Structure 1
């Protein structure tokens, strides 16, 4: 045992840099996987915690005031009901921010779907104008307990008494109204009236059937909107789920790359230490002991890195800025946190141990007596192309370097594959970065042709509103439209039916499949709607809008970032043919190039005066992904570190294998500089081949992964964009030039070795 430890200590002193790289690579891999686990937990458990503590309703149904919702409590499978509560639509203003809200009348905190107060207090009859805001709405309005809200229609101000968490779908500007709990006396004074009831089911898996039964009992014409717990959970996961998936994917990819890097490092070290291994066996080491020396040595590196990563994540993870810190802090309080904190590092260590076992087993097969080295050149005979290249008087160093890089096919392909894997993942990360940037730089190509959404006061007519909007020099086009909730076939869920633009001035949808809608009954749909209804482009769909049937022919698939892609869009003319009383309720504004949306929104709201226009910037899906940039940068660092380990291993192996040819090269008249150029050229050719393979495989893989994520989120395939040619060229040049620079120093040292040293190395 003492001899084993002394040899391991000597080897560590000789290869300190390589050992450090292996430890740091393991730290990066384990940290990525632990952060992925934290983000997955953060994506699902906060909503689940709120839903469980509040005894949330599995279904919320908005109906007309006259609907007999009390009959729903007697349906099979309904455990309890929340409400019914009277509701009214309104617009509130706080600190210059406006939001559409649903005033919900109640006095006591309900037993089902109970709001969980996070600050302030509940409604009090002594404060008749007091309200409680849902948390996401309060965040959008920058409101706190004690603030005053201005209610549309000239009604008196409302006082914020408290802020509460809710398991219902959260407020989204321009898409979904926020919930405001108020005393029933305050509700009838604000806008259109209705009622809402929540159903808590005995079996959550029967949600679709329960919704269908409820709509049948009430009548389709009485139901305005239906939301389910699945929809709320999916929206609560949102961007955190995407971050967790990306971290998990790259963490696993980095784990495989690190395992291969360790395997290659051990294999190269064994080939370079055959004489040392023979000496170990000659002094009494058994094959099993030799295997354990190499295996335990690299297992110790992996264990050290895994323990360091787990310790750093546990101690400092909650202090990370932004969402990652919040995710780790919440994850540390979950019951399964300790198991994950141990299982992930142990899994990584075992995986690395498995990948190093084969290379260590090869060390045990080395004979105790060194086998005389063959007199043939290490790279074998010159190939036909190499001889022809020398005949063309190309520099011998370049020809011999190229020949050295690709002659040993099995070993060369293995080295290229190890180098290509981290480079491939870097190409995928660059593609993800480019796609996110495209949402900001080219929003019209990502389904965001309009920059602003405007809702006008009822006192403004349609022509007056258009004239007011077109007056701004920054406005390029105005598209009137409506958006209503529609019941899908089977009446199990609601979707967004949108009518934008006219046939003379159609809305510029971004199509990924099919064509634009031109006919009277034609429409385009998002991926989420196609998946929900199990239809495709070319099919006809029937839906119910306020009791009226609407049949549309889907002629194209549009990229839809809103409402999880559950949107079907046609022209305003088509909807007005089915309902002549329909009038524009919103306007989508396309701005001129270079216009600042927030500034234009402020100018339009100020020019209208007296709150006649509610103007807000269209939400961009990429706005919720700022942490992804930091994640991508960290992943690039980890992958670059793994690639560096692979590259140093390849350079070390190339230098060691070139020692046997050193005398022959000097004998034929090559100078030390030319001999150095051979090794540098071989390294550069290997790196160039790895870059080509990584780019050729990485770009299609990145497109497939990004489009698959877009499809699963409802936005739809067709959003993926690869890096520009300039960026790819810079990436390839940096990789090749970096490999050349790293190879210069060890190759130069080897080429200047003395003849006596060289003879001892080949003896």
Structure 2
């Protein structure tokens, strides 16, 4: 082995603590970088990536099997501009019933022999593909009331309205990025699901050479349907519509993931650079010894770069594995939300992170060693032993005057002796405190968002206040098996109001009626919700303006204002069943239901509105069950019933953000703690001789621990004081970006979530990070024997 090789091996083996710290810090930084990079990748046009991976259909067309022939449909796949096609697949719409006898919403069932193909490659999430006549595969987003807490596999769906009442067993759960079906079966099974006297339809999926705009997709639609009778085309769906829907669903998540991803990457580079630079800087005396033995500056640089790369390479390998393990469950959650095909970390992320980590280590070690290697041998030997005796002397003198134990004042002055090292620890704590502050702010903001979204809050309801039923439809079966209904048209609304008022426990109540109207300038109807009574407890949050107070005044969501080009204070013309109604917009409300196109007003604004539902708030201390029983008795003549209201629960998107926030915050705090650990380890090892002297003079292990821990107190307090405003500033950028991405404004309470007492505690979080990072070296210093410390150089 060459002399240089022996130096590298000796350096790695002799400085075991520093070697371990470099490896551990690199591993944690690489893990954080893999997670951050994966989130950035997942957030970059997620629908587009999923669409390309699964060869999504630019256009899906459904054809009536009684009005077109299979040959006509087959010929459409050869139309000009079509680059790939799948089908025609036989398809029917069938209503199923579960084993408990609950009717489920109708399903679009497609006969497909396998999930693959050149267009719309369906991703099988769990189970197997349907191949037998009694098997069915459900779509992951099919509205069939599948309990998300248990696997749907093995569930039986009956079709009692069909000949023979066929029963199919769920054998798989799949996802189509093009959302082409609610369920899939073997082609031969379609005949069993087809009503007598009717013919199954055809579904054809196309990819076009040009489909980036609505005009291009429309041109492709015209080309493929040219040979099919116009009356036979029963429905088409463009991928641009799906893309817009996906953007609305995931828009809130993207700015949040980008913020945490960038924070993780920057922090990883910072910590690795500081650790390596500190380790090389602590070896100045060793560099002087090597130069005295005849090593050239270039050889000194190569030796120290190699000494840093050996543990860094091991740490990088461990970090990549750990980062992938941590990222998989997080990406699995984002996959479910984004509709991606897989939840695996992009291999390119691993390659880039590994290369970047090793480059950062090599460059940092090279720069530090090169600076030290250029010192004269005598200077390196002198400077490398300890910091300059004058550095920090003033701070030590001032600290000694404080009414604190001497062991504490010794530690308090220590950061001024090594200001560069103290700044490195400070930067780590600032990032850690900022991450915690951002996480706390996001959690509070998301709680406010969920509260603002949870409209129509009540203790008791009559009918469903959030019901959207077509005219003439009285009730539907909910996903949980409960019947969701509206107040019957024949019911006496005045009698219902009187029955509610007569109940002793009634605090307040209001009724709500919903009817679609046409708004000037919009092609699709908008639902109008007309209220009567006290709506103050309903939970609607205003973004700007005020709630309506009289007929003719309306409040609308942000999306409505954008779509109509109006603002608070403007008027809008409504066409209500042929009657023109001019209303004034007096407020902007936070509401995302009905694609943010709902209109809220007094019931008297529109004529002949009959309440669909009633929401009731009861007095504190009222027995809700007894209240419902008594009210039910009074409502019996009106053929309707009351029930205790149930919580809608937190939305999947907000739960996902909360889970990812907790994971990322823990990772970033751990990385920040390692930055402190590195600085304290270097400082403690450098001062081990001084520690031995102090112990010889009577310093106890407890006082030694106090000295080491107090050396990070000022850094922790300053880091917390700087990190909290930084986290608040980041929160102030992320939340508006999330709102803009979702295309809606947000109530002011979503942004003003920090309280003075909470900020003080968050500021102390920097101190907690610093103390936790210093615990291990403090324990080592306390356990070191006096003789051993005096011998150590």
- Summarize deviations over 1:696-720 as a string: whole Å, max 9, x none: 3213322431342233124543435
Cα drift, residue 294 of structure 1: 3.4
Which residue number corresponds to residue 256 of structure 1?
A: 266
Matched, 1:460 2:473: no
The structural deviation recorded for 1:476 is: 6.5
Q: Does 2:433 correspond to 1:401?
A: no
Where do residues 304-323 of structure 1 align in structure 2 (5 Å cutoff)? 304-308=314-318, 310=320, 323=333
Name the counterpart of 1:501: 531
Which residue number corresponds to residue 140 of structure 1? 145
Match of residue 32 from structure 2: 29
* Contact kept? 2:625, 2:644, Cα under 8 Å: no
1:744 counterpart = 2:778: yes
What is the distance in 2 between the residues matched to 1:316 and 1:388?
47
Return the alpha-carbon distance in structure 2 between the equivalents of residues 743 and 93 of structure 1. Answer: 65
User: Structure 1: which 5+ residue stretches go unaligned?
Assistant: 61-72, 173-180, 188-195, 215-224
Contact 1:255/1:348 (CA < 8 Å) preserved in 2? Answer: no
1:27/1:309 contact within 8 Å kept: yes
Query: 1:421 Cα shift?
Result: 1.0
Corresponding residue of 2:368: 359
Which residue in 2 is equivalent to 1:280?
Answer: 290
1:516 and 2:547 matched: yes
Is 1:680–1:747's contact at 8 Å kept on the other side of the alignment? no
Q: Of 2, 9, 12, which aligns to 1:9?
A: 12
1:379 CA displacement: 3.6
1:127-166 correspondence runs (5 A): 136-140=141-145, 147-148=157-158
Moved more, 507-516 or 367-376: 367-376
CA 1:603/1:528 → structure 2, altered by over 3 Å: closer, same or farther?
A: farther
2-side partners of 1:602 and 1:197: how far apart?
A: 54
Decide which of 380, 397, 418 is 2:392's aligned counterpart: 380
The answer to which of 717-726 and 363-372 deviates more is 717-726
SS in 2 for 1:524: strand
User: 1:398 Cα shift?
Assistant: 4.1
Q: Does 1:558 align with 2:586?
A: no
8 A contact 1:398–1:678 mirrored in 2:
yes
Structure 1 position 546, deviation (Å): 6.7
- Measure how far apart 1:277 and its partner are: 1.0
Is the 2:123–2:175 Cα contact (8 Å) retained in structure 1?
yes
Instruction: State the shift of 1:444 in Å.
Output: 3.7
Specify the SS of the correspondent of 1:369: helix
Counterpart contact for 2:12–2:19, Cα < 8 Å: no
Q: Is the CA contact (8 Å cut-off) linking 1:447 and 1:559 kept in structure 2? A: no
Residues 47-105 of structure 1 deviation map (CA, whole Å, 9 limit, x = unaligned): 62698555534999xxxxxxxxxxxx9xxx9999x99xx999x9986456978857889
Equivalent in the alignment of 1:290: 300
CA distance, structure 1, for counterparts of residue 618 and residue 47 of structure 2:
37
Q: Using the TM superposition, give the Cα deviation of residue 634 of structure 1 relative to its aligned residue in structure 2, in angstroms.
A: 3.3
Change (3 A) 1:583 1:226: farther
Q: Find the residue that maps to 2:717 and give its secondary structure.
A: helix
Give the Cα separation in 1 of the matches to 2:243 and 2:619: 37
Bigger mean CA offset, 457-466 vs 265-274: 457-466
Rounded to whole Å, the distance in 1 between the matches of 2:642 and 2:160 is: 15
Among 666, 676, 681, the alignment partner of 1:652 is 681
Segment drifting more, 665-674 vs 32-41: 665-674
Change (3 A) 1:102 1:710: farther
Q: Distance in 1 between the 2:342 and 2:107 partners?
A: 37
How far residue 360 of structure 1 moved from its aligned partner, in angstroms, is: 4.3
- Cα separation, 2, equivalents of 1:639 and 1:732: 13
**Cα distance per residue 1:339-394 (max 9 Å; x no partner):** 455344434544555555543443333432235459963543425xx767755755
2:741 is aligned with 1:712: yes
**Aligned counterpart in structure 2 of residue 481 of structure 1, from 485, 503, 513:** 513
3-state SS of paired residue (1:501)? strand
State the SS of the aligned residue for 2:651: helix
Q: Is the 8 A contact 1:59 1:207 kept in 2?
A: no
Q: Judge conservation of contact 1:523–1:552 (CA < 8 Å) in 2.
A: yes
Partner of 2:461: none
For 1:401 and 1:99, the matched residues in 2 are separated by 72
Contact 2:29 2:671 in 1 (8 A): no
What's the counterpart of residue 725 of structure 2? 696
| Map 1:99-498 → 2, pairs under 5 A | 101=105, 136-140=141-145, 147-148=157-158, 204-207=211-214, 229-236=239-246, 246=256, 249-308=259-318, 310=320, 323=333, 338-351=347-360, 353=362, 358-370=367-379, 372=382, 377-382=389-394, 393-406=403-416, 411-436=421-446, 443-450=450-457, 453-454=466-467, 456-457=474-475, 460-461=488-489, 467=496, 477-482=509-514, 484=516, 489=521, 491=523, 494=524, 496-498=526-528
Question: CA 1:319 to 1:25, structure 2 compared with 1: closer, same or farther past 3 Å?
Answer: closer
Q: For 2:732 and 2:623, locate their aligned partners in 1 and report how far apart those are by CA, in whole Å.
A: 31
Q: CA RMSD in A?
A: 6.3
CA contact (8 A) 1:30 1:345 kept: no
Q: How far 1:585 sits from its partner (Å)?
A: 4.4
The answer to whether the 8 A contact 1:28-1:309 is kept is: yes
**Aligned-pair distance for 1:558?**
2.5
Q: CA deviation at 1:276?
A: 0.3
The answer on whether the counterparts of 2:60 and 2:237 sit within 8 Å (CA) in structure 1 is no
Change (3 A) 1:594 1:293: farther
Q: Deviations over 1:545-604 (max 9, x none)?
A: 7777665544333322434x6234321426x43xx2444445567688899999999999
**Paired residue secondary structure (1:502):** strand
Q: Corresponding residue for 1:217?
A: none
Q: Which of residues 649, 663, 666 is equivalent to 1:637?
A: 666
- Local SS of the residue matching 2:27: helix
Distance in 1 separating the partners of 2:180 and 2:647: 17
Instruction: Give 1:508 shift.
Output: 3.9
**Structure 1, residues 402-425: CA drift from partner, whole Å, max 9, x if none?**
333357656534431222212322
CA deviation profile, 1:428-476 (whole Å, cap 9, x unmatched): 233334444556xxx5445545366357557813755793995897996
Q: Matches of 2:647 and 2:776 in 1, distance apart?
A: 49
1:488 Cα offset (Å): 7.1
Measured in 1, the distance between the counterparts of 2:506 and 2:245 equals 34
Alignment CA distance shift 1:647-1:379 (3 Å): same
**5+ residue gaps, structure 2:** 64-75, 183-191, 222-234, 459-463, 476-485
The verdict on how the C-alpha distance between 1:573 and 1:736 changes in structure 2, with shifts beyond 3 A counting, is same
Cα distance in 2 between the residues matched to 1:746 and 1:107? 69
Separation in 1, partners of 2:325, 2:705: 47
Deviates more, 1:324-333 or 1:360-369: 324-333
Whether the 8 Å CA contact 1:58–1:198 is kept in 2: the answer is yes
Equivalent pairs counted in the alignment come to 698
Contact 2:31 2:319 in 1 (8 A): yes
Aligned partners of 2:574 and 2:580 also within 8 Å: yes
Cα offset for 1:499?
1.5
Q: Deviations over 1:586-623 (max 9, x none)?
A: 55676888999999999999999999999996755533
